[in-house]
Amino acid sequence: MAQPRVIVIGAGPAGVRCAQTLVAAGIRPTVIEEGRRDGGQIYRRQPESFKRSYETLYGDTADRAKSLHSDFDALRSQIDYRPETLAWNVANSMVYAVKAGVSTPVPFDALVVCAGATDRLMPIPGWDFAGTYSLGGAQIALKAQACSIGRQVVFMGTGPLLYLVAAQYVAAGAKVAAVLDTSPFSLRIGALPKLLAQPAALAKGMRLVASLKRARVPLYSGVKLIEITGDAHDGVQGVVFDDSKDVRRTVQCDAVGLGYHLRPETQLADLARCEFEFHAGRRLWMPKVDDMGRSSVKGVYLAGDSARVLGADAAEASGRLAAFAVLQDHGHKVPADQVQAAEASLARIRRFQAGLNQAFPWPHAQAADLPDHAVVCRCENVTAGDLRHVVNEMGAQEANRAKAFSRVGMGRCQGRYCGVAGAEIIAQAAGVPVELVGRLRGQAPIKPLTIAVEDPA
Amino acid sequence: MSTLMNAPDQRRYDADVVIVGGGFMGAATAFFLRQRGRSVILLERGLVGQQASGVNFGNVRRQGRFLPQLPLANRSRAIWGRLPELLGEDVEFLPSGHVRLCYDPVHLDALEEYAKAARQLGLDLELLSQQTVRKRFPYLTHEVAGASYAPVDGHANPRLAAPAFARAAVRAGAKVIENTEIAAVEKDGEDFRATATDGRIFRAPAMLITAGAWGSLLSEQFGEAVPIVARGPQMSVTEPIPYKMREVFGVMTKIEREVVYCRQIPRGNIIIGGSTRGPAFPDIRRAYALPTSTMTQMAEIRRLIPAFGRLNIIRTWSGIEGYMPDDRPIMGPSGKVSGLFYAFGFCGHGFQLGPGVGDVMAELIDTGSTTTPIEPFQMARFAVPVAVAGGVDE
């Protein structure tokens, strides 16, 4: 029997475990990776010439990082590996992969999208000043290039990444001016039963907070973020917020790391015409998948954070499961015990993540309350007021209609960073539930594509 | 389950004219009918201007058209110039000039002949030699053999145009009803009746079908099916760069892949269209930009303006357009049923015509005739000879 042609998009934890499982079954998958090296974001590898140790780079996940990297190194001769390659489109059972300005159609029988996630961002007045980064971006600057985003950095938003990145900055010797969490501390207590599904992860979170306290980093919970101050010339100069007792405070800084958990990268699933569903708990649209990662489209599988944002450990498990699903669907026998083990591990992580969502909720009311002058879409310079205008004066109540009228989400990032908050603003202005606003449809190319692109044929 | 909840909505709506299809043609006609004091209901299955009207390139171009269509295009161009005052809204119309160029010198004669004929029909074109093109537009490829130039044609924003007409129509008293799928159209005594899938009934003594690629699905209910084919334009847009390129450029050629056109908006982005059309799927209301079309389009736009090779495209899209076998729309009265009118199937060249079609159809419905000739577009040209029993078709 001819082996199926399998493409795995992404060489992060999901993609690596998926490729490894396929190789073990005698399949030689094509692995398309946008970055220079494998490892994804959380286990991002430093450039070859950098010499930091695993312990320095990954802390208490050094073993997992080492295992993932060395397993991938061992796979290299058994896969068709294409780094620095962007899968810019999917159509007619082909992935269009562009590398160094040449776009090659790669046919597939099975496509496993392990495209990861990006920060979910909440606009705030002043976030368009230079010096505002996403938490993920701040982390990558440190991990990949050993750079801090500023001399005095404020981290703000909510979620575990907030504390992780702040602690990593402190450990690297950077000055962290404050950590501002929009979620009140009381919610963390309420979420404890669910968080106990992964005691080690919970303990790690507590260690991170303790390390920040030891370093005398001011920590605030239950804050309301008011604005990032600064100007167009010098960029970020400070942050203004109300603390949990409604006292207005100011912190000086020259950079801000901002984020509210992650949102899945779903554009490839969208271009592959997968169905989506709304998840009320996270207030996010995500592609429909079964327990093993099968999407609604035959031959298209989703794993890791691009299917469900559950973190790196879940990504490894779901990458294996998606490979098993591919194998099953092509008549291979799969080891039932391994499938069960991966499913059990995922179930535990899902419970833990439900606890995280409860402890660190997306403060959607803040998006709805943004002042009219706040920029929502930074690519196109569309303000909250512009968005409310197209709802109130032009009758736009649906995300793509509001995009057509206002240009929100029409720029380079294609709504990755403004789409979720934009939907909240539209919903509030229109007086409808956010799920009725819908989601911005993905449009190729998923990232900017040079007009100089060549077709090798 | 309560039976009440499932009972069809039996409300009735009456007007002088019912329009089925909320694209540019339908929205503009609704607006101009209100200008003439006629009550009107405009029915749209999704949202106004979502299909061909909203996804096209945005050309407000007269040159290169089928010559007998120029009077209509001229009437439309005159309205384009008055839109802000008519609608109270800006749809980003810029009369910034339109350049139609060719690579093959054998086409220069055709450009010249067209310009001569167009002048008789009220469209003044300037012929540009190869040297003039190089001097005026130094960024164009030196392959350009010559061009014709329309100084007052230009471009507008297709995402805004049809919805702006619909909003203006509503302000003028029209009923615009979105998210309403029409299951059946028929004539019932003196009146036409459109029945929505939820049971609502819309009645009027006159009906206009402006359903684009879906037009024949409605006209066939009156025994006037036409061979319309749905296709998807292939569009892309670049990241913004400083606004320098005022004119719209389009390549005139007989080779489909060479057809490419572009325009820059003041925001800075360059919109690119042309090359091979893609398939469209009216049943699921989707058409897709094909990666292969994008690749062809990139190669052809790079050929036309080599410096564009330094830019990125950030988005591609498509939509559903209706094409007729003779590349002409259907516009005018039904060939069979009095009080019934059509305006659909604009074959990828309807955007410029939108305001004019609305004005002409409103005039035709209101007065029974129109001062602008539209005979070449009559539905009757597709009439199938009726077979006499026992006889043989000839």
Neighboring chain A residues of B163 at a CB cutoff of 8 Å: 394-395, 405
| Residue B315 sits at the chain A interface (C-beta within 8 Å) | yes
Question: Which amino acid is it at A180?
Answer: L
| Residue B238 sits at the chain A interface (C-beta within 8 Å) | yes
pLDDT single digits (tens) A426-447 = 999 999 999 999 999 999 999 9
* Distance of residue A8 Cα from the nearest chain B Cα, in angstroms: 20
Q: Angle, nearest 10°, between helix axes B158-171 and B24-35?
A: 30
* pLDDT confidence of residue A59: 86
CA B280 to CA A194: how far, in whole Å?
48
**Surface-to-core class of residue A441, CB atoms within 10 Å of its CB (0-12 exposed, 13-18 middle, 19+ buried):** middle
- Who among A401, A445, A452 is closest to B316 (CB)? A445
Closest Cα in chain A to B316? A444
Q: Which of B188, B220, B240, B200 is nearest to B344 (CA)?
A: B220
* pLDDT confidence of residue B383: 81
CB A363 within 8 A of CB A158: yes
Q: Which of B156, B96, B153 is nearest to B124 (CA)?
A: B153
B293 alpha carbon, distance to own chain's centre: 21
Neighboring chain B residues of A407 at a CB cutoff of 8 Å: 267
* Distance of residue B392 Cα from the nearest chain A Cα, in angstroms: 46
* pLDDT confidence of residue A1: 55
**Is the Cα torsion angle B353, B354, B356, B358 positive or negative in sign?**
positive
Helix (H, G, I), strand (E, B) or coil at B298: helix
Q: CA angle, corner A252, sides to A248 and A254, nearest 5? A: 140
Question: Which amino acid is it at A284?
Answer: L
Residue B376: CA atoms inside 13 Å, Cβ hemisphere, count? 15
CA B278 to CA B323: how far, in whole Å?
12
CB A113 within 8 A of CB A6: no
* pLDDT confidence of residue B388: 46
Q: Is the Cβ pair A450, B311 closer than 8 Å?
A: yes
> Which one of B313, B317, B318 would you mutate to disrupt binding with A, by most A Cβ within 10 Å of its Cβ?
B313
Q: Which of A329, A306, A328, A330 is nearest to A318 (CA)?
A: A306
- DSSP H or E stretch at residue B279: strand B278-281
pLDDT of chain A, 457 residues: tens digit per residue: 578 999 999 999 999 999 999 999 999 999 999 999 999 999 999 998 898 999 988 888 999 999 999 999 999 999 999 999 999 999 999 999 999 999 999 999 999 999 999 999 999 999 999 999 999 999 999 988 899 999 999 999 999 999 999 999 999 999 999 999 999 999 999 999 999 999 999 999 999 999 999 999 999 999 999 999 999 899 999 999 999 999 999 999 999 999 999 999 999 999 999 999 999 989 999 999 999 999 999 999 999 999 999 999 999 999 999 999 999 999 999 999 999 999 999 999 999 999 999 999 999 999 989 999 999 999 999 999 999 999 999 999 999 999 999 999 999 999 999 999 999 999 999 999 999 999 999 999 999 999 999 988 6
CA B44 to CA B48: how far, in whole Å?
6
Residue B316 is given by DSSP the state E
Q: CA angle, corner B268, sides to B148 and A455, nearest 5? A: 75
Q: Is the Cβ pair A451, B167 closer than 8 Å?
A: no
Positions of E strands within A147-234: 152-158, 175-181, 219-220, 224-231
| Residue A297 sits at the chain B interface (C-beta within 8 Å) | no
Residue ranges of chain B whose pLDDT lies below 70: 1-10, 384-394
* Distance of residue A445 Cα from the nearest chain B Cα, in angstroms: 6
Q: Is the Cβ pair B312, A450 closer than 8 Å?
A: yes
Both structure tokens of B392: 């043989």
* Distance of residue A411 Cα from the nearest chain B Cα, in angstroms: 7
Q: Cα torsion for B14, B15, B16, B18, to the nearest 10°?
A: -90
A389 alpha carbon, distance to own chain's centre: 30
* pLDDT confidence of residue B276: 84
Question: Which amino acid is it at A380?
Answer: E
* Distance of residue A455 Cα from the nearest chain B Cα, in angstroms: 7
**3-state per-residue secondary structure call for A117-142:** EEECCCCCCCCCCCCEEEHHHHHHHH
Chains A–B, number of C-beta pairs less than 8 Å apart: 75
CA B164 to CA B106: how far, in whole Å?
42
CB A206 within 8 A of CB A213: no
CA A63 to CA A229: how far, in whole Å?
41
| Residue A411 sits at the chain B interface (C-beta within 8 Å) | yes
* pLDDT confidence of residue B9: 64
CA A241 to CA A227: how far, in whole Å?
7
Q: Which of B193, B222, B209 is nearest to B14 (CA)?
A: B193
Both structure tokens of A378: 């930074």
CA A375 to CA A421: how far, in whole Å?
11
Neighboring chain A residues of B313 at a CB cutoff of 8 Å: 445, 448-449, 451
> Which one of B292, B293, B300, B310 would you mutate to disrupt binding with A, by most A Cβ within 10 Å of its Cβ?
B292
* Domains in chain A, CATH or no CATH each: 6-116+265-331 (3.50.50.60), 120-261 (3.50.50.60), 364-437 (1.10.10.1100)
* Distance of residue A20 Cα from the nearest chain B Cα, in angstroms: 30
Q: Is the Cβ pair B316, A91 closer than 8 Å?
A: no
* pLDDT confidence of residue B394: 41
| Residue B303 sits at the chain A interface (C-beta within 8 Å) | no
Q: Which of A41, A9, A265 is nearest to A112 (CA)?
A: A9
Q: Is the Cβ pair B312, A405 closer than 8 Å?
A: no
- Who among A443, A449, A453 is closest to B317 (CB)? A443
Question: What are the distances in angstroms from CA B344 to CA B21, B203, B213, B332?
Answer: 9, 21, 7, 10
| Residue A433 sits at the chain B interface (C-beta within 8 Å) | no
Q: Which residues contact A416 (CB under 8 A, 6 or more apart)?
A: A118, A263, A265
- Who among A395, A405, A445 is closest to B313 (CB)? A445
| Residue A452 sits at the chain B interface (C-beta within 8 Å) | yes
* pLDDT confidence of residue B8: 59
Query: What is the distance in angstroms between the CA of the first residue and the CA of the last residue of chain A?
Result: 29
Beta bridge partners of A9: A32, A113
Q: Is the Cβ pair B309, A450 closer than 8 Å?
A: yes
CA A453 to CA A409: how far, in whole Å?
24
What are the residue ranges of helices labelled H in chain B?
3-6, 24-35, 52-55, 70-80, 83-87, 108-120, 130-136, 158-171, 215-219, 291-304, 354-367
Q: Which of A309, A303, A295 is nearest to A323 (CA)?
A: A303
* pLDDT confidence of residue B392: 42
- DSSP H or E stretch at residue A339: helix A336-359
| Residue A450 sits at the chain B interface (C-beta within 8 Å) | yes
Q: Is the Cβ pair B291, A452 closer than 8 Å?
A: no
Closest Cα in chain B to A403? B159
Both structure tokens of B364: 């035709």
Q: Is the Cβ pair B314, A450 closer than 8 Å?
A: no
Closest Cα in chain A to B272? A451
Q: A-contacting residues of B 33-62, CB under 8 Å?
A: 47, 54
Q: CA angle, corner B329, sides to B168 and B68, nearest 5? A: 100
* pLDDT confidence of residue B7: 55
Question: Which amino acid is it at B173?
Answer: G
Q: Is the Cβ pair B291, A103 closer than 8 Å?
A: yes
